[in-house]
Chains A and B, each alone.
Chain A
Amino acid sequence: MSISGLIAVPVGAPLVAAAVALVSRRRSLSGWSGIAASLAVLAAGIAIAARVGSGHVVADAHLLRADAAAAVMVIVIGAVGALATFAGVGYLDAELADGATTPAAARQYEVLVQVFLAAMSLAVLADNLGVVWVAVEATTIATAFLVGHRRTRQSLEATWKYVVICSLGITLAFFGVVILYFASIHAGASPTSALDLDVLASRASHLDPAVTRLAVGLMLVGFGTKAGLVPFHTWLADAHSQAPAPVSALMSGVLLSVAFSVVLRVRALADSALGPGFARDWLLVTGLATLLVAVSLLVAQRDLKRLLAYSSLEQMGLIAVAAAAGTRLAIAGLLLVVTAHGVVKAVLFISAGELQHVHGSSSIADLTGIAARSPLLGAAIGAGLLGLVGLPPFALFGGELAIARGMADAHLAPALGVALVLLVVGYASIVNHGAAMLLGPARAGSPAIVVSRPVAVPVVLGVAVLVVLGVVGGPYPHLLETAATVLGAR
Chain B
Amino acid sequence: MSAHTYATLVDLAAGTLLLSAVLVVWRRDLQATARLLAVQGAALGAIPILSGVRRGDVQLVVVGVAVVTLRAVVFPKLIAVRLRGELAHEREGAPLVNTTASLLVTATLVIVAYALSRPLVRLDASSAARAAPVGYALVLIGVFLLVTRRKALSQVVAFLVLDNGIDAVAFLATLGVPVVVELGASLDVLLAVVILGVLTGRMHAKFGGTDLDELRELRE
Question: Which of A's residues lie within 8 Å of B, judged by CB?
Answer: 128, 130-131, 133-134, 137-138, 140-141, 144-145, 148, 151, 153-154, 156-161, 163-164, 167-168, 171, 174-175, 177-179, 181-183, 185-186, 191-192, 194-195, 208, 210-211, 213-214, 237-238, 241-242, 297, 300-301, 306
Q: Is the CB of B188 within 8 A of A141?
A: yes
In whole angstroms, what is the CA distance A241 to B219 when docked?
A: 11
Q: A150: shortest Cβ distance to chain B, in Å?
A: 12
- Knowing A159-B199, A160-B203 are in contact, say whether A208-B181 is a contact too (CB < 8 A): no
Could you list 6 examples of A-B contacts with CB < 8 Å? Answer: A134-B185, A153-B217, A156-B202, A179-B120, A179-B169, A181-B174
Q: How many residues of B contact A (CB 8 A)?
A: 42
Q: A189: shortest Cβ distance to chain B, in Å?
A: 11
Q: A362: shortest Cβ distance to chain B, in Å?
A: 13
In whole angstroms, what is the CA distance A134 to B185 when docked?
A: 6
Q: Is the CB of B181 within 8 A of A141?
A: no
B196 — which chain A residues lie within 8 A by C-beta? 160, 163-164
Q: Is the CB of A175 within 8 A of B185?
A: no
Q: Is the CB of A181 within 8 A of B177?
A: yes
Q: Is the CB of A160 within 8 A of B215?
A: yes
- Knowing A161-B215, A163-B192 are in contact, say whether A178-B177 is a contact too (CB < 8 A): yes
B124 — which chain A residues lie within 8 A by C-beta? 182, 186
Q: Is the CB of A130 within 8 A of B146?
A: no
Q: Which residue of A lies closest to B187 (CB)?
A: A134
In whole angstroms, what is the CA distance A191 to B216 when docked?
A: 47
Interface of B is mostly: helix
Q: Is the CB of B162 within 8 A of A195?
A: no
Q: Is the CB of B159 within 8 A of A164?
A: yes
A158 — which chain B residues lie within 8 A by C-beta? 218
B155 — which chain A residues lie within 8 A by C-beta? 164
In whole angstroms, what is the CA distance A156 to B196 when docked?
A: 11
Q: Which residue of A lies closest to B146 (CB)?
A: A168
Q: Which residue of A lies closest to B195 (CB)?
A: A144
A-B CB proximity, top 6 nearest? A130-B181, A134-B184, A210-B119, A157-B215, A137-B188, A178-B170
Q: A57: shortest Cβ distance to chain B, in Å?
A: 21
Q: Is the CB of A186 within 8 A of B162?
A: no
Q: Which interface residue of B119, B169, B185 has the most chain A CB atoms within 10 A?
A: B119
Q: A131: shortest Cβ distance to chain B, in Å?
A: 7
B215 — which chain A residues lie within 8 A by C-beta? 156-157, 160-161
B159 — which chain A residues lie within 8 A by C-beta? 164, 167-168, 171
B212 — which chain A residues lie within 8 A by C-beta? 160
In whole angstroms, what is the CA distance A200 to B139 when docked?
A: 25
Q: Is the CB of A167 within 8 A of B192?
A: yes
In whole angstroms, what is the CA distance A163 to B215 when docked?
A: 14
Q: Is the CB of A140 within 8 A of B192?
A: yes
- Digitize B148-188: 1 where CB-to-A-CB distance is under 8 Å, 0 elsewhere: 00001001000100110010011001100110110011011
Q: Which residue of A lies closest to B168 (CB)?
A: A178
A175 — which chain B residues lie within 8 A by C-beta? 139, 166, 169
Q: Which residue of A lies closest to B173 (CB)?
A: A182
Q: Which residue of A lies closest to B117 (CB)?
A: A214
In whole angstroms, what is the CA distance A140 to B185 when docked?
A: 13
Q: Is the CB of B177 within 8 A of A153?
A: no
Q: Is the CB of B199 within 8 A of A163?
A: yes
Q: A149: shortest Cβ distance to chain B, in Å?
A: 12
Beyond A137-B192, A153-B217, A178-B170, 19 additional contacts (C-beta under 8 Å) are: A128-B178, A134-B184, A137-B188, A141-B188, A141-B192, A156-B207, A160-B199, A160-B203, A167-B192, A174-B185, A177-B177, A185-B174, A186-B124, A191-B178, A195-B181, A211-B120, A237-B218, A238-B218, A300-B220
Question: Which of B's residues lie within 8 Å of A, judged by CB?
Answer: 116, 119-120, 122-124, 139, 143, 146, 152, 155, 159, 162-163, 166, 169-170, 173-174, 177-178, 180-181, 184-185, 187-188, 191-192, 195-196, 199, 202-203, 206-207, 212, 215-218, 220
B170 — which chain A residues lie within 8 A by C-beta? 178, 181
**Other-chain contact of B123, A156, A186, A237, A306 (Cβ < 8 Å):** A186
Q: B166: shortest Cβ distance to chain A, in Å?
A: 5
In whole angstroms, what is the CA distance A107 to B139 when docked?
A: 38
In whole angstroms, what is the CA distance A208 to B196 when docked?
A: 38
Q: B128: shortest Cβ distance to chain A, in Å?
A: 12
Q: Is the CB of B174 within 8 A of A153?
A: no
Q: Is the CB of B174 within 8 A of A128?
A: no
Q: Which residue of B lies closest to A212 (CB)?
A: B119
Q: Which residue of A lies closest to B212 (CB)?
A: A160
**Other-chain contact of B166, A153, A174, A208, A214 (Cβ < 8 Å):** A174
Q: A158: shortest Cβ distance to chain B, in Å?
A: 6
Q: Is the CB of A195 within 8 A of B178?
A: yes
Q: Which residue of A lies closest to B163 (CB)?
A: A171
Q: Is the CB of A154 within 8 A of B116?
A: no
**Other-chain contact of B174, A134, A144, A182 (Cβ < 8 Å):** A182
In whole angstroms, what is the CA distance A284 to B188 when docked?
A: 31
In whole angstroms, what is the CA distance A177 to B185 when docked?
A: 11
A133 — which chain B residues lie within 8 A by C-beta? 181, 184-185
- Knowing A163-B199, A179-B120 are in contact, say whether A134-B188 is a contact too (CB < 8 A): yes
Q: A56: shortest Cβ distance to chain B, in Å?
A: 26
In whole angstroms, what is the CA distance A455 to B2 when docked?
A: 70
Q: B143: shortest Cβ distance to chain A, in Å?
A: 7
B180 — which chain A residues lie within 8 A by C-beta? 128, 130-131
In whole angstroms, what is the CA distance A211 to B120 when docked?
A: 6
Q: Which residue of B lies closest to A241 (CB)?
A: B218
Q: Is the CB of A168 within 8 A of B217?
A: no
Q: B200: shortest Cβ distance to chain A, in Å?
A: 9
Q: Which interface residue of B152, B162, B178 has the most chain A CB atoms within 10 A?
A: B178
Q: Is the CB of B192 within 8 A of A154?
A: no
Q: Which residue of B lies closest to A213 (CB)?
A: B119
Q: Is the CB of B206 within 8 A of A153?
A: yes
In whole angstroms, what is the CA distance A301 to B120 when docked?
A: 46
A134 — which chain B residues lie within 8 A by C-beta? 181, 184-185, 187-188
Q: Is the CB of B169 within 8 A of A154?
A: no
